[in-house]
Amino acid sequence: MREQTATELASTRDHYMIDVRPLEERRGGFGFVPGSLALGSGDLTSLIDDDGLPVVLYCMSGRRSAELIEGLPEPLARRVVNMEGGLLAWINADFSLSLIHISEPTRRRGI
- pTM (predicted TM-score): 0.85
* pLDDT band of 110, cuts 50, 70, 90: very low
User: In this structure, what are the phi and psi dihedrals at residue 19, rounded to the nearest 5 degrees?
Assistant: -85, 120
Mean pLDDT of 68-81: 88
Comparing 9-13, 14-18, 50-54, 77-81, the range with the smallest average pLDDT is: 50-54
For 28-61, the pLDDT digits (tens) are 888 999 888 888 655 677 666 667 788 999 999 9
Phi-psi region of 14 (alpha: psi -120 to 50; beta: other; left: phi over 0): left
d(CA 66, CA 80): 10
Q: Where is 19: in which H helix or E strand?
A: strand 16-19
Q: What is the mean pLDDT of the chain?
A: 84
Q: How far apart are CA 85 and CA 4, in angstroms?
A: 9
DSSP H or E segment with residue 37: strand 37-38
The arithmetic mean of pLDDT across residues 4-29, rounded, is 88
Band of pLDDT at residue 95, cut at 50, 70 and 90 = very high
